[in-house]
Amino acid sequence: MHYLFKLIAHFLTSNSRHGTHSPFVYKLADEVIYKKTQHGTGSKKQALLVDIANYLSVSYAECSTDIGLDKAWLIQDNTSLEKIAVLQHQFKYLVLKDIYKSKYATHLWKDVCKDPRFIVCVDLFYYGFIFYRKEQPKELFRLRFPYWR
């Protein structure tokens, strides 16, 4: 029940693409997140991950040694802030899965958003995206998950 309240609160307090002050995040939201999915396979959450990866010309790394700026890493376990700080320089972007499912995940996501080492954080409730963009000031973007995709 608590998870449902978090979901409703996130939906009511988050923005659509209008309300983002970053050309990078606005374009990502406009051209991918809020655009109809390009394929009909899998869940809406999975389809969104695939569409973002395709848009940014990356594939998801399959193991921790499969690194590179043409890769993205999906963090699904309870990892540390320090490990995330190291990983962000090895991949084009990072995805934290289920950032509101557990207390640990929520605290970790909040710590990431506060930490100055992480420049662009995009909160889509089900996923937290971390982009290292040194040309951009640190900012957190809370966007509505596109349930209508």
List, in sequence order, every residue forming a beta bridge with 120; answer none if it has no partner.
131, 139
DSSP H helices, the chain, are 2-13, 23-28, 44-55, 81-87, 103-114
Q: Are 81 and 112 in contact (CB under 8 A)?
A: yes
Q: Are 93 and 131 in contact (CB under 8 A)?
A: yes
- Burial level of 62, CB count in 10 A (0-12/13-18/19+)? exposed
Summarised one tens digit per residue, pLDDT across range 59-99 is: 998 777 788 889 999 998 889 999 999 999 999 999 999 99
pTM, to two decimals: 0.91
Token pair listed for 63: 């193991």
Q: Where are the domains of the chain?
A: 2-142
Summarised one tens digit per residue, pLDDT across range 12-66 is: 999 887 778 889 999 999 999 998 776 666 788 988 999 999 999 999 987 777 8
